[in-house]
Structure 1
Amino acid sequence: MTELYPLLMLPAFDPRPWGTMDLSPIYPNYKCQEKIGEAWLTGDDCKVNNGPLAGQSLAQLSTRFGRELVGSAARDPKRFPLLLKFLFPEEKLSVQVHPDDEMARQVGQPWGKTECWYVASAQPGAQIALGLKPGVSRLQLEQAIHSKRAEDLLNWINISSGDMIYVAGGTVHTLGPGSILVETQQQSDTTYRLYDYGRPRELHLKEGLAAVKERTASGKVLRPAPGKVNGQNNRQESLVAAPYFVVDTFELKESKNFRTRDKSGKDSVQIMVAVEGCGVVEAPGMEPVTLAKGDAVIVPASVGEFSVRPQWTVEFLKAYVPGESLPEPVTKL
């Protein structure tokens, strides 16, 4: 009998100079003492907030439980595979790049940082910058950084609530103000800042320029139309299916059953992040866990089967590691 059960995570609020003092759209009860840019939900150091394992970090639990927690689809049995977090940009982030797997291994990291952003909300005119404009070379980017016009060479695109953005490792990018995003990424915190608008933070030009790819598969993910599940009252939509993660969104008005094993036969830890409403995560023989807006609940792979029962209605993202090899998604800028 496993000691694991559905885990309610304690958000870790991370101050950033581009963040906000107002988290009320997601965390109405959190009072900021400084600008908060990110709320980490499943980082290595994030801690469990319920049951006998309360106070334990995901790094500790991954080392202790291995594939019981992370599942057979994860690349490393002793490392939690995916980091999910909220982003709250009130000013522009630095122009930055994350390495892909190949570049990360060259500097001693186990893997790179490919990520995706779900736009939970966006004000009119909110934008992101994603990749170099066609024909722009790394050398031209380097020259533009030194002349303080790096953002002129990037693809700026408008974003709206409900968009899913795929950001492959090696893609130069930044966020503008006016949105709230849910990020899903490989478990890595390797970021190379290329340009930071004069803010007094370290830049990483040598490593960053080496990691930049002139062309990538990054962009807005082209998705099928949402489908109904369990009759006409529940809605499911595939947001992105990619080599490192699959993310779907659900809007439930009736209880829905889930499994930790996908059609490949491999199982994976399941991570749910609520963006609206409230529900209850239930698994046979285990204490129920409330999933409310801003919460993340982790269902260990060994749990096998579980359900989410809405308290009137709940909308959440569900992320996991695919058991089969998937291509990069189809995108557009």
Structure 2
Amino acid sequence: MKKTLYPIKFTPILKAKIWGGEKLKNLLRKQSSASNIGESWEISDVEGDTSIVANGDLKGQSLKQLLNTYKSDLIGYKNYEKFGNTFPLLIKFIDAKEDLSIQLHPNDALAAKRHNTFGKTEMWYVMQADPNSKLIVGFNQKMNSETYLKHLNAKTLTEILNFDTVKTGDGYFIDVGRVHAIGAGVLLAEIQQTSDITYRVYDWDRVDETGNKRELHNDLAIDAFNFNMPDDFRLDYTKTENTANTMISCRYFTTNYLKITKAITKTNTHDSFLIYMCVDGEITITANGLSSKLQSGETVLIPAALKTVELQSDNATLLEVYV
């Protein structure tokens, strides 16, 4: 007999990174003894890193088990027809104590051909940034493969990259084929397709604790670039309280900004699950008579079959995500 669905929380999957720091522990209360935690995978169906339910009657079950059992009740009819028993999104918090590598991601066609996986379209919401912290997104001039390769080979790549100084609340859409990197001092929420494919093109010549440099993927990356993209990566969105403000809506996901200052009831009119990422404050989320409390840095999945969601807080900021 199936157990009743409810707002589902998962145990974070923490990833130590050469560039990671301690904000995920100190600011978002993630539990780890490591000092270089760079990523907290909040909801993941990546092979080898499947999320495990942390609350309620389904505690201990994997996201894959939930998909196998609940199917469209979990993710929606159209999503289940398209993705089957694969969850379509990967949800993360990322802390960059040092600069990440300069990188880009392949589109669906390349990723399927080379890696038998989805492409990696993603977006960022800046939760906190140290003074003068920057993101690298795109180029600072019109670009083509010849000019790019000239600078890559001359180790002058940073001369042609676009650096943006960022603050809390800034949003960025990182389409496939666009060069990018998270800069030192930035803590952000990331929503992306379910894929762990990254083409690293420059890693600041750094080495790990054994003196080795990380692998670069320039042979693969050159075919993945889209050098003709407009500079439309900065998200311009409203912040009206107690209503959904669309940040980005693309073929892979929609993300809304919600500032909650009172009790509201939302009806899920989408043929999709809902994900709520709490990026500031505290909130109680109730569906099907069962509640989950979220603090900043926590995430909850509302199954598609639950059509009414109550949000209760006097001061919380959420990202609402669906497909």
On whether the aligned pair clears a TM of 0.5, the verdict is yes
- Paired with 1:117 and 1:110, the residues of 2 have a C-alpha distance of 21
Map of 2:315 onto structure 1: 313
- Paired with 1:250 and 1:25, the residues of 2 have a C-alpha distance of 24
Q: Are the counterparts in 1 of residues 67 and 74 from structure 2 also a CA contact under 8 Å?
A: yes
What letter corresponds to residue 300 of structure 2 in structure 1?
V
1:221 aligns with 2:217: no
Superposed, 1:111-260 pairs within 5 Å as 111-199=118-206, 200-217=213-230, 218-223=232-237, 225-228=238-241, 234=242, 236-260=244-268
Displacement after TM superposition at 1:145 (Å): 2.4
Compute the TM-score of the two structures, normalised by the length of structure 1: 0.86
Displacement after TM superposition at 1:24 (Å): 4.7
Superposed, 1:72-111 pairs within 5 Å as 72-74=77-79, 75-111=82-118
Instruction: Indicate which of 48, 51, 55 corresponds to 1:50.
Output: 55
What letter corresponds to residue 193 of structure 1 in structure 2?
R
What letter corresponds to residue 135 of structure 1 in structure 2?
K
- Paired with 2:148 and 2:64, the residues of 1 have a C-alpha distance of 37
Map of 1:330 onto structure 2: none
Compute the TM-score of the two structures, normalised by the length of structure 2: 0.89
Map of 1:326 onto structure 2: none
Displacement after TM superposition at 1:2 (Å): 6.1
What letter corresponds to residue 302 of structure 1 in structure 2?
A
What letter corresponds to residue 308 of structure 1 in structure 2?
L
Map of 2:75 onto structure 1: 70
Displacement after TM superposition at 1:301 (Å): 0.4
- Paired with 2:205 and 2:18, the residues of 1 have a C-alpha distance of 12
Map of 2:278 onto structure 1: 274
Q: Are the counterparts in 2 of residues 21 and 32 from structure 1 also a CA contact under 8 Å?
A: no
Map of 2:20 onto structure 1: 19
Moved more, 287-296 or 179-188: 287-296
Kindly provide the CA deviation profile for residues 16-73 of structure 1, in whole angstroms up to 9, marking residues without a partner as x. 1111034355324635423011111011112110112212222332233222111134
Cα RMSD of the aligned pairs, angstroms, is 2.0
Identity value in percent: 30
Q: Are the counterparts in 1 of residues 11 and 52 from structure 2 also a CA contact under 8 Å?
A: yes
Q: Judging changes above 3 Å, is the alpha-carbon distance between structure 1 residues 140 and 85 closer, same or farther for their aligned structure 2 residues?
A: same
Q: Judging changes above 3 Å, is the alpha-carbon distance between structure 1 residues 284 and 65 closer, same or farther for their aligned structure 2 residues?
A: closer
Secondary structure class of the residue paired with 1:125 = coil
Kindly provide the CA deviation profile for residues 134-177 of structure 1, in whole angstroms up to 9, marking residues without a partner as x. 33222332332232222222111221211110100111111111
- Paired with 1:165 and 1:141, the residues of 2 have a C-alpha distance of 23
Displacement after TM superposition at 1:295 (Å): 0.9
Q: Are the counterparts in 2 of residues 70 and 77 from structure 1 also a CA contact under 8 Å?
A: no
Unaligned runs of 5+ in 2: 207-212
Moved more, 47-56 or 165-174: 47-56
Map of 1:329 onto structure 2: none
What letter corresponds to residue 270 of structure 1 in structure 2?
L
What letter corresponds to residue 274 of structure 1 in structure 2?
C
Q: Are the counterparts in 2 of residues 164 and 221 from structure 1 also a CA contact under 8 Å?
A: yes
Q: Judging changes above 3 Å, is the alpha-carbon distance between structure 1 residues 300 and 202 closer, same or farther for their aligned structure 2 residues?
A: same
Displacement after TM superposition at 1:110 (Å): 4.1
Q: Judging changes above 3 Å, is the alpha-carbon distance between structure 1 residues 60 and 215 closer, same or farther for their aligned structure 2 residues?
A: farther
Map of 1:331 onto structure 2: none
Kindly provide the CA deviation profile for residues 275-311 of structure 1, in whole angstroms up to 9, marking residues without a partner as x. 22222111234x311112211110010112221122x
Map of 1:324 onto structure 2: none
Q: Are the counterparts in 2 of residues 70 and 301 from structure 1 also a CA contact under 8 Å?
A: yes
- Paired with 2:140 and 2:175, the residues of 1 have a C-alpha distance of 16
What letter corresponds to residue 127 of structure 2 in structure 1?
A
Q: Are the counterparts in 1 of residues 24 and 40 from structure 2 also a CA contact under 8 Å?
A: no
Moved more, 128-137 or 167-176: 128-137
Secondary structure class of the residue paired with 2:19 = strand
